[in-house]
């Protein structure tokens, strides 16, 4: 009997090796893209090798610009792509190239894979990010702007608009509003170092070198030095930040927080000394806000439904869908150095009916390629399950699929709990598939104007929900192996 068990285990082992070999030959679901220069550096090559072993990934090395890997990515068509880049490579232009590249694997305008850029203050910092495997369930939040604490187990936020306004929620309790000192620098530092938040959110004025805590009043700063964050209060006192617990960072409304212009960039310091394993951030000054603030609509307002990388991609899909729906001629356009279109914008009747103008077209295009996502796209960070405005279900029987939306908050089911920020609310419903679909045909539900691609289903958000109405889409499609 023992010999039979050993033979069975050995056969299973051989089958696993065969599966891994097949995945490696096919390129698998995960690809690591890296420049030849970085791949030849032993310390950075270890980052690549770690990801390769962690995800059974293929490795694509390039010379010149990252866009040269398009042909190979089209052949492999991975579900996840991680771009390993030294800080000097992770430029604003590089982020824009990655956006465009990852929308170009097939013929539609939408992102074709979950992607992220792994970099760090040093190769050792990047390696720590690449090595981390344990998933993160977000239960604690700290923020320098308003956030709906009822969706978290516990948390605290400090107003960027009103001096001394704090809202705090303890585990098992309800949010409580307090009046505290106007200078909240030390409290926000403690939120990272002592409270050990899983999620950190900021907004307001920022540069590559600092975050200004108060937007409409005088407060302190977060700054960095040699890869280490610190708080600088209004009295000139420094408060060092060492916060190694794994976390996600969303500088949703900050200018330039995602721009790595040197090793002294704030993004690198957050990764190096504040335990940030995934973050997004603008590489430019932000004014329109759709690509930043909208991440809250998917990640926080729908607790537990999306991982952070899924929420980021969902918001990018929503942005592209908005462009394609209301400004199809500008969806693939670029702005000039003054942030204007090179040709006049034709505002469609649908756009006018939705209250949109040429400025909205410019804002969407401005945001389209300017927000970076840093971290391993295969790492899972997700909000703890919480109250949802609606239930969405995807089921299938063979090649027939049914997607259904069930409102849970009456007429306001499809609206966020918080409208803090810019361009909030109205995000379409998104459902990612576990693999890729082909031979797609919509059977019913056309009145909801659904969009079904090989990787996701999108249904526009009607804004006001009608609990007596059916929100259901039936379609056919063959699912490839995930």
Taking residue 359's Cβ as centre, other Cβ atoms within 10 Å add up to: 11
List the domain boundaries for the chain.
146-302, 388-479
Taking residue 23's Cβ as centre, other Cβ atoms within 10 Å add up to: 16
Report the distance separating Cα 116 and Cα 380, nearest Å. 12
What pLDDT is stored for residue 269 in this prediction?
Answer: 98
Q: Output the six-digit token pair for 302.
A: 């729908």
Could you tell me where the DSSP H helices lie in 283-408?
290-299, 308-326, 349-353, 358-368
Q: Output the six-digit token pair for 265.
A: 């960039």
Report the distance separating Cα 74 and Cα 102, nearest Å. 10
pLDDT truncated to tens, each residue of the chain (482 aa)?
434 333 333 433 333 333 333 333 334 799 999 999 999 999 999 999 999 999 999 999 999 999 999 999 999 999 999 999 999 999 999 999 999 999 999 999 999 999 999 999 999 999 999 999 999 999 999 999 999 999 999 999 999 999 999 999 999 999 999 999 999 999 999 999 999 999 999 999 999 999 999 999 999 999 999 999 999 999 999 999 999 999 999 999 999 999 999 999 999 999 999 999 999 999 999 999 999 999 999 999 999 999 999 999 999 999 999 999 999 988 888 888 777 888 888 888 899 999 999 999 999 999 999 999 999 999 999 999 999 999 999 999 989 999 999 999 999 999 999 999 999 999 999 999 999 999 999 999 999 999 999 999 999 999 999 888 889 999 999 988 65
Give me the count of residues in the chain: 482
pTM over 0.85: yes
Q: Three-state DSSP class for 185?
A: helix
CA 350 to chain centre: 29
Question: Any idea what the Cα angle at residue 293 is, between residues 350 and 122, rounded to 5°?
Answer: 135
Q: 50: closest CA among 379, 278, 309, 307?
A: 379
Report the distance separating Cα 406 and Cα 469, nearest Å. 9
Q: Output the six-digit token pair for 79.
A: 């579900």
What pLDDT is stored for residue 340 in this prediction?
Answer: 82
What pLDDT is stored for residue 296 in this prediction?
Answer: 98
Report the distance separating Cα 73 and Cα 475, nearest Å. 28
Report the distance separating Cα 117 and Cα 112, nearest Å. 16
Answer for the pair 426, 463: CB distance below 8 angstroms, yes or no. yes
CA 429 to chain centre: 16
Q: Output the six-digit token pair for 9.
A: 């285990």
Could you tell me where the DSSP H helices lie in 327-451?
349-353, 358-368
Report the distance separating Cα 214 and Cα 211, nearest Å. 9
Report the distance separating Cα 151 and Cα 419, nearest Å. 14
Taking residue 445's Cβ as centre, other Cβ atoms within 10 Å add up to: 18
Dihedral sign of CA atoms 181, 187, 189, 191 in order? negative
What pLDDT is stored for residue 338 in this prediction?
Answer: 78
Report the distance separating Cα 377 and Cα 379, nearest Å. 6
Report the distance separating Cα 368 and Cα 34, nearest Å. 23
**Packed helices 123-131 and 266-273: angle between N→C axes, nearest 10 degrees:** 60
CATH topology of domain 388-479: Immunoglobulin-like (2.60.40)
Q: 454: closest CA among 428, 425, 423, 477?
A: 477
Report the distance separating Cα 457 and Cα 129, nearest Å. 31
Taking residue 264's Cβ as centre, other Cβ atoms within 10 Å add up to: 17
């Amino acid at each position: 009997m023992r010999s039979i068990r050993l033979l069975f285990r050995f056969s299973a082992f051989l089958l696993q090796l065969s599966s891994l070999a097949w995945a490696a030959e096919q390129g698998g679901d995960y690809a690591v893209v890296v420049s030849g220069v970085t791949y030849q550096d032993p310390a950075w090559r270890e980052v690549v090798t770690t990801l390769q072993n962690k995800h059974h990934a293929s490795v694509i090395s390039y010379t010149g610009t990252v866009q040269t890997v398009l042909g190979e990515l089209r052949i492999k068509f991975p579900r996840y792509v991680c771009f390993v880049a030294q800080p000097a490579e992770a430029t604003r232009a590089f982020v824009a190239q990655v956006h465009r590249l990852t929308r170009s694997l097939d013929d539609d305008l939408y992102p074709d894979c979950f992607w992220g850029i792994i970099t760090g203050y040093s190769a050792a910092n990047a390696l720590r990010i690449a090595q981390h495997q344990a998933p993160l369930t977000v239960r604690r939040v700290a923020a320098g702007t308003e956030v709906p604490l009822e969706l978290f187990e516990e948390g605290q936020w400090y107003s960027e608009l009103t001096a001394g306004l704090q809202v705090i929620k303890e585990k098992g309790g309800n949010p409580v509003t307090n009046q505290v000192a106007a200078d909240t620098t030390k409290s926000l530092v403690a939120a990272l170092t002592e409270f050990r938040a899983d999620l950190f959110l900021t907004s307001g004025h920022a540069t590559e070198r600092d975050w200004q805590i108060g937007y409409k009043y005088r407060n302190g700063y977060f700054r960095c030095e040699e890869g280490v964050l610190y708080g600088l209060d209004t009295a000139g006192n420094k408060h060092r930040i060492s916060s190694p617990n794994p976390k996600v960072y969303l500088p949703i409304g900050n200018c330039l927080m995602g721009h790595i212009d040197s090793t002294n960039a704030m993004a690198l310091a957050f990764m190096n000394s504040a335990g940030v394993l995934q973050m997004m951030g603008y590489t430019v000054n932000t004014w329109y806000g759709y690509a930043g603030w909208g991440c809250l609509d998917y990640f926080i307002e729908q607790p537990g439904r999306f991982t952070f990388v899924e929420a980021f991609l969902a918001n990018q899909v929503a942005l592209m869908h908005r462009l394609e729906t209301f400004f199809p001629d500008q969806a693939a356009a670029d702005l000039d150095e003054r942030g204007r279109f090179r040709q006049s914008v034709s505002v469609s009747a649908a756009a006018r009916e939705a209250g949109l103008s040429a400025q909205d077209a410019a804002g969407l295009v401005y945001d389209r390629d300017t927000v970076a996502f840093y971290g391993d796209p295969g790492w899972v960070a997700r909000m703890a399950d919480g109250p949802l405005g609606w239930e969405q279900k995807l089921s299938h029987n063979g090649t027939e699929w049914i997607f259904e939306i069930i409102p849970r908050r009456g007429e306001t089911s499809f609206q966020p709990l918080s409208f803090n920020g810019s361009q909030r609310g109205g995000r379409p419903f998104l459902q990612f598939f576990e693999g890729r679909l082909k031979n797609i045909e919509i059977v019913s539900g056309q009145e909801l104007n659904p969009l079904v691609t090989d990787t996701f289903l999108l249904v526009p958000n009607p804004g006001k929900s009608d609990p007596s109405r059916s929100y259901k889409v039936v379609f056919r499609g063959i699912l490839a192996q995930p």
